[in-house]
Amino acid sequence: MKLVADLRGEKGCPWDKKQTPDSVGIYLVEEAFELVEAIGQEDIAEIREELGDVLFHIVFMARMFQEAGQFDLRDVAEGITQKMIRRHPHVFGDRTISGSEEVTQNWHKMKLKEKKSSRRTSMFESVPSSMPSLMRAYRISDRAARSGFEWTEMAGESPNSELVLQNLKAAMQEKDKDLQSEAFGRLLFALVNVCRQQMIHPEPALAAAVKKFEQQVAKMRELISGSNRRVEDLSPAQKAEIWRKIESS
């Protein structure tokens, strides 16, 4: 805290002194994503550094609210401590549970009970609109399902692979770009629900697929350049053949 106080103090850094919670918020989001990436890469040194960056931004943010006389870091720590104790009656109370799924269900019930006594009027209000769309779609659909609004029940359809393919073909047939965009949006949301029902989070699943694609493209470029050829000189059939070899290796 002293470090941040010095940075924001009279003789501190001009850039740090002029920051506001709004201006710093985006940096906290960026640092959080960098931390998640480091965890995925299992780079211990990088994880430690990124945790430090996230921690610094949290302390920095708390300091600004302290300066405004609203709360300080101690208030934040005490608040989250009380919330965790309240949300874990099976640890800090006498409630017994059967497993992690019951923990999740109880957590959601307690959140709903707490929200009813707050100023929020929607079950989705606490899901940030600035959250990446894929993550937000998962959170929205999960929250709705846990509140009795299961997407498949309301749609009257099962989001199986055959239906997904049918919806994809239908979307590609749309001539109006606005209608096509809407159709693809519905399709993506359906896929998010497929993932959720299979207990797979779409964000890390897609991230893993993108990472694998990057590696495969790099390998393909390496193979092509190693044979003294250029990508633009290869036919689609030749590219497909090389791709199949990479996927099967």
Token pair, residue 181, equals 């965009």
Question: Which of 24-28, 64-68, 111-115 is predicted least confidently?
Answer: 111-115
Whether 186 has a pLDDT exceeding 60, the answer reads yes
Q: Kindly indicate the confidence band of residue 51, based on its pLDDT and cuts at 50, 70 and 90.
A: very high
Tell me the Cα Rg of the chain: 24
Task: Please give the average per-residue pLDDT across 240-246, as a whole number.
Answer: 89
Percent of the chain with pLDDT over 70: 90
* pTM (two decimals): 0.61
Q: Kindly indicate the confidence band of residue 116, based on its pLDDT and cuts at 50, 70 and 90.
A: low
Give the C-alpha distances (Å, rounded to integers) separating 168 from 65, 110, 165, 174, 185: 48, 38, 5, 10, 10
pLDDT on residue 47: 96
* Domains (range + CATH), the chain: 1-87 (1.10.287.1080), 123-200 (1.10.287.1080), 207-248 (no CATH)
Task: Please give the average per-residue pLDDT across 49-67, as a whole number.
Answer: 95
pLDDT on residue 148: 79
The two most distant CA atoms of the chain are separated, in Å, by 70
Task: Please give the average per-residue pLDDT across 201-230, as a whole number.
Answer: 88
Cα 238 to Cα 55: distance, rounded to the nearest angstrom: 50
Whether 117 has a pLDDT exceeding 60, the answer reads no
* Selected residue with higher pLDDT from 101 and 133: 133
